[in-house]
Structure 1
């Protein structure tokens, strides 16, 4: 009988898709080993990483020899394989289709524009995007409260960048 290798996630905290998969793994308790890949140092171009993902992007998971890239595919795979609670990814076909619909739309539309608002602009202009936006501030507070320490852990690198930009 072959021994089972732990699931590995290759990620960079600068990557929003990486943070999404990492949050999911941590919050669902799926056993995994975290393998950071420093994009800013070009580690994704190493021969070892390129064997995992010829596109040289994160996140990537390796599950007992099975390699999967692209965060939406990874999240669907993990939710299905590890039988997570229904609120993550419903079994009902129509409910699941609505989740899939949103994930496809979000991945292609929201990420790019949100990155401009939540990362590029505040880092470059030292601007507090939550100031005078009570609805947005309340949403972020709810997300931080729901995720607890996981939220700050996966955003730690962005916090460091923000603090360096303020110097």
Structure 2
């Protein structure tokens, strides 16, 4: 499955590479708007909540400029990406773990206790083939694919995705949440952050997956409180206003590039 961060591949392919001595996290904006992809929003929440922004240089938005050196940011040509001296790293989860280990973030994010850390790792492994495999597709079906192709998808396609997501949510509640406050216990962890940014995507396109799921709703409220409501909604501003993208003008070449990529993601 193609990562949703690949949707904005052209942002990275045409980015200007800037050398720096401190760690720089490169992220993407959506076309010319000051809005983030969900993986970028996830990293921003962690860095703001743990004060890592005092250590990191300001994040650099990857905009169309010139392509020289772009491959030095990420050989995978994906965002978000990280540069620490001569070391570069792609993939959001890998960056989260790297920052947590390097800067000794508060223990609850990625616990030093080997069993609790293993629980975080377990969820991160499960997440990609379950929550992430279904939740983002609601956004592609209801907003992005119609925007880039000019054609709505049949309602059966959304129903199929929602059925798959419902199965994943049932497993999420029964296997991971159970009767706990957060995924690994009484404190928030990276696992909760990774989960919430995906589960807010259906909400942004009008599929309120938290309705009629009281345990899931209470967990979401606890995550909001732990992160801070202002930061939480700032990080999800783009996804909660995703429908507004239908009013923007998109470069025809970008449409031509991304339409087949989006369609491929649904297969």
**TM-score above 0.5:** yes
Counterpart mapping for 1:67-78 below 5 A: 67-78=88-99
Q: For residue 131 of structure 2, what is the aligned residue in structure 1?
A: 110
1:94 and 1:105 map into 2 onto residues whose CA distance is 16
Q: Which residue of structure 2 aligns with residue 120 of structure 1?
A: 140
Residues 76-105 of structure 1: CA distance to partner in whole angstroms, max 9, x if unpaired?
111111011111011122221221121122
Counterpart in the other structure of 1:81 = 102
Report if the CA contact (8 A) 2:76-2:90 is conserved.
Answer: no
Aligned to 2:39, which of 14, 17, 24?
17
Greater Rg over alpha carbons, structure: 2
CA distance in 2, matches of 1:28, 1:75: 12
What RMSD over aligned residues (CA atoms) do the two structures have, in Å? 3.0
Aligned residue number for residue 48 of structure 2? 26
Say if 2:203 is the partner of 1:129.
no
More relative contact order in 1 or in 2 (CA 8 Å, sep 6+)?
1
Normalised by the length of structure 2, the TM-score is: 0.51
Q: Note if contact 1:72-1:104 (Cα within 8 Å) is conserved in structure 2.
A: no
Q: Is the 8 A contact 1:122 1:128 kept in 2?
A: no
Residue of structure 2 in register with 1:8 after alignment? 24
On the 8 A contact 1:5/1:64 being kept in 2, the answer is yes
Q: Where does structure 2 lack aligned partners over 5 or more consecutive residues?
A: 1-19, 29-34, 147-154, 156-204, 249-267
CA distance in 2, matches of 1:122, 1:131: 18
Distance 1:156 1:44 in 2: 26
Encode CA deviations 1:50-98: one digit per residue, 9 max, x unaligned. 2211221111111233211111211111111101111101112222122
CA distance in 1: counterparts of 2:41 and 2:128, whole angstroms: 13
TM-score, normalised to structure 1, is: 0.76
Larger mean CA deviation between 157-166 and 108-117 belongs to: 157-166
Q: Which residue of 2 aligns with 1:153?
A: 234
Q: Following the alignment from structure 1 to structure 2, what is the Cα–Cα distance between the partners of residues 132 and 29?
A: 33
